[in-house]
Amino acid sequence: MSRRLATLGNVRSFANKALTVETMNPNMRSCKYEVRGEIYLASLKRMSEGKDVIALNIGNPQSLGQQPMTYSRQVMALLLAPFLLKDPNVTKMFPADVIERAQLYLKNTKGGLGAYSDSKGVPYIRQLVANFIQSKTGQVSNPDNIFLSNGASECAKLVLNALIRGKTDGIMVPIPQYPLYSASIALFGGELVPYYLNEEGGWALNIAGLQKSIDESRAKGILVRALVFINPGNPTGQCLSKENLRDLIKFCYDNRLILCADEVYQENIYQPTKSFESARKVLGEMPEPYKSAVELVSFHSTSKGFIGECGLRGGYMELHNMLPEVVDELYKISSVNLCPNLPGQFATALMVDPPKAGEASYTLFEQEKSERLDSLKRRAHMLSAAFNRLPGVSCQETEGAMYAFPRISLPAKAIAEAERLGKQPDVLYCLELLNETGLCCVPGSGFQQEPGTFHFRTTILPAEERFPEIIEKFSTFHRKFMA
């Protein structure tokens, strides 16, 4: 009897919970992040059953075998264990420039890596970032307008939260897009205003399409406040030209929009005819009124490039042409979290201030950097070429970033089966791909896409020696699926 009463009591206690899915913030329920959505969860189940999974769903280089940069980790080791600097054998374990760099960083960091820093980040590191921006763009950067963060995503969310006041505030986002933006806009209760990239034109920008999109949104009562672009593109891999950036800057000026430049893949360029063009540099070289009027937020991260330090969560944003009062408000909100993690801040410092020519670690650093980027370039070409050999698949050449985003023409029976199951057709394709091969990809519907088209995104990050196996798995599965 007592056991039955206890059971009834448990039922009642669960029934009377104050927080349920129905009573939580509805914006959280509407928020979706398919990079770690249904396919990813299915891959975890598969791994729990002891089956192989090749995680192609996320840009996480070291999880797929990429080694850390030697210099960065040597400096980080001394920063995290500063007592090693007093060891009489330290000069036998570490190069002289590594020891000097660790000593310099610790000298300029009150309390070391175990203490809170300023909420914008360690001032010394923010000055290093400002120096980096100036060296890359030729434009003076104010360290007071630089915020270090736990990855670039944190900064992007901070800015979006500041921009979105309610459901009639809109943010223009490229389609296909990285789901950070759609998820954050939904979470903060705003409206995603899509602008479609031209796939047949190599995922090109279309300014006329941008204007059409903003005009249609305004007609619906949406106040569009900012435009996001990703360069190089994620998931599309395209590189924007100086002309593209000038057009975007003029568009933002004409429509009174803040320009948000997601530039985390700036080191990842694979086409000899392409280069990374910085929005900060292009804006600084434009005439007035653009140069001083357009508000620009630029994001960068330690997670991508050739460094791939995703787990250390380092990144930054620079605010340019922003009102000082706005910077102060963002500083206030950043203070709620006290500070970004210190290892991530120093990973950022090492990204923007690598070893210099003549220093002991320079040759190895440059060798490791070249090997990683050259291999990524080969992998990008291999994968897009392999997709283009498959029936019903077309894949734009990966110009940059870390992904291929092939378009797939699915058979009618597969579309009908997906509809019966209540799934998007490309979700069904990716689930079947995972079940049969262990390859975990993200369906194009998770990034949004032109209506009536189907895609999936895969990284180019597995070890190069695994690519023949991965390509064979893709090919065998696809031919069977299409039959």
pLDDT tens across 388-416, in order?
999 999 999 999 999 999 999 999 999 99
Tell me how far apart the alpha carbons of residues 139 and 438 are, in angstroms, rounded to a whole number. 47
Rounded CA gap, 94 and 82, in Å?
Answer: 13
> Could you give the CA distance from residue 474 to residue 465 in angstroms, rounded to a whole number?
16
| CB within 8 Å of 352: residues ≥ 6 apart | 128, 129, 131, 132
> Quick one: which H or E segment has residue 334?
helix 324-335
Q: What share of the chain is helix, strand, coil (3-state, %, to 5)?
A: 50, 15, 35
Q: What does the chain come to in residues?
A: 483
pLDDT at 447: 87
Dihedral sign (CA 113, 117, 119, 120): negative
Q: Which residue has the tokens 């036998």?
A: 92
Average pLDDT of the chain, as a whole number: 92
pTM: predicted TM-score of the whole model, two decimal places: 0.91
Three-state helix/strand/coil letters over 398-454: CCECCEECCEECCCHHHHHHHHHHCCCHHHHHHHHHHHHHCEECEEHHHCCCCCCCC
Q: What's the pLDDT tens digit per position in 142-175?
A: 999 999 999 999 999 999 999 999 999 999 999 9
Name the token pair of 482: 């299409």
Neighbours of 402 (CB within 10 A): 28
Q: Which two tokens stand for residue 167?
A: 């459901």
Residue 234: closest CA among 178, 314, 164:
178
Instruction: Point out which residues pair with 269 in neighbouring strands.
Output: 400
| φ and ψ of 366, to 5 deg | -65, -35
Distance (Å, rounded) from C-alpha 441 to C-alpha 427?
10
Q: Which of 446, 443, 413 is nearest to 429 (CA)?
A: 443
Q: Which residues contact 447 (CB under 8 A, 6 or more apart)?
A: 34, 175, 176, 177, 178, 179, 235, 405, 455, 457
Instruction: Say if CB 463 and CB 65 are below 8 A apart.
Output: yes
Give 23-37 as a DSSP string: TS-HHHHH---GGGS
Radius of gyration of the chain from its Cα atoms, rounded to whole angstroms:
24
Q: Which stretches of the chain drop beneath a pLDDT of 50? A: none
Q: What is the pLDDT of residue 8?
A: 53
Q: Alpha-carbon torsion 220, 204, 446, 188, what sign?
A: negative
For 38, the enclosing helix (H) or strand (E) is: helix 38-48
